[in-house]
Amino acid sequence: MSDSPVLGLLKDLISRPSITPFDAGCQPLLIERLEKLGFTCEVMEFEDTLNLWARRGTEKPLFCFAGHTDVVPTGPEHLWKCPPFEPTVIDGYLYGRGAADMKGGLAAFMIGLEQFIAEHQDHHGSIALLITSDEEGPFINGTTRVIDTLEARNEKIDYCIVGEPSSTDHVGDTIKNGRRGSLTADLTVKGVQGHVAYPHLVKNPIHGCMAALAELTETQWDSGNEYFPPTSFQITNFNSGTGASNVVPANAHIQCNWRYSTELTAAQITAAFEETLKNHDVDYDVQWIYNGSPFITQPGSLTNAVSLAIKEVTGLTTELSTSGGTSDARFIAPTGAQVVEVGPSNKTIHKINESVNIADLESLVDIYQVTLQKLLT
């Protein structure tokens, strides 16, 4: 029995070992198919990252599917049920690195798109794909730079589906209509190294920051709102010491991360953080890493179309959610686009034996196709 179209395409994509930031031939495979559908394909290569902007049509509204071809490293390959870049079907699941995150969503959209265009050659508006090989890496030469290019020429996306694995137990049970912001502080607390027996000659950086960090961990940053839970602050790394028990270290290195709601801005967080350190007389340097601002897509045309498509295809009433980490949606939403994330289950993403339910994959094809019908016909 031959593979279905989506299963065949997904196997082909998984077999290309596109560990970030390398595309490994995935985008040329997509370009070949897209050009046959009448898309104009524009390759944007920035540093070590390959990006694709493909568009069919010139009219509004512009519907965009966004995704990535890069995957995270496999981890110890001997722990996998099968070689991670040799896609294998076991008990109704396809195993392989990228099966769920997010070559599964990419393959499903391609097949859904092909089916949609076969039935609607003269659809309304335009369709585009924004594909990068830099989502799992530093994310500096991928979607963000493509969006900068589009913004510079005033090419505006109206609706965008990011094909990240958004579902929980069954495809379509959850879609992401927003994400929390992510902000990281890379903090160095300065001290004076010396012998523990001479405390008057040393300045312990660990002691110096403990009270400030305790206050920060106990701070209620906000109460959240109808879309977001309260802001979360976590200390993720704390490194100090020489390895000797009789030496006070010269400095301490701490990393902290906030996942914050639309109730706060990055500027408010950084100001409060630095004020707390100064109030406790901490001698420090800090570097800030802005990973993305919070955004929300209010219920409207896009969420309605996707929710109705999911209901028609699966019978499920989907849940709108802003939980989880970040995605490239954070670069697209600030342009004014309505953005949601719709994809397979996220249960196995980044894990050993990553897999996707094949039946869910087939349903996802239909969800994407019906969504296009509702928005562009």
Q: What is the pLDDT of residues 308-363, one digit of tens each?
A: 999 999 999 999 999 888 899 999 999 999 999 999 999 999 999 999 999 999 99
pLDDT at 324: 84
pTM of the model: 0.90
The pLDDT tens digits of the residues spanning 81-126 come to 999 999 999 999 999 999 999 999 999 999 999 999 999 999 999 9
Domain-by-domain residue ranges, the chain? Answer: 5-179+294-376, 181-292
Candidates 23, 70, 134, 366; catalytic one: 70
Contact 349, 341 (CB under 8 A): no
Residue stretches of the annotated binding site = 68, 101, 136, 164, 350
* CATH topology (fold) of 5-179+294-376: Aminopeptidase (3.40.630)
Band the pLDDT of 297: cuts 50, 70, 90.
very high
Query: Which residues fall in the annotated binding site for Zn(2+)?
Result: 68, 101, 136, 164, 350
What would the DSSP string read from start to end of 56-94?
Answer: E-SSSSEEEEEEE--B-----GGGSSS-TTS-EEETTEE
Q: Does 70 qualify as catalytic in the annotation? A: yes
Catalytic annotation, pick one of 23, 134, 135, 366: 135
Report how far residue 68's alpha carbon sits from residue 59's, in angstroms, rounded to the nearest whole number. 25
pLDDT at 325: 82
Q: Is residue 135 annotated as a catalytic residue, yes or no?
A: yes
Integer Cα distance of 177 and 101 in angstroms: 18
User: Can you tell me the distance from the alpha carbon of 326 to that of 257, in angstroms, rounded to the nearest whole number?
Assistant: 13
**23 and 69 in contact (C-beta within 8 Å)?**
yes
CATH of 181-292, one of 3.40.367.20, 3.30.70.360, 3.40.140.10, 3.40.190.10: 3.30.70.360
Residues found in the chain: 377
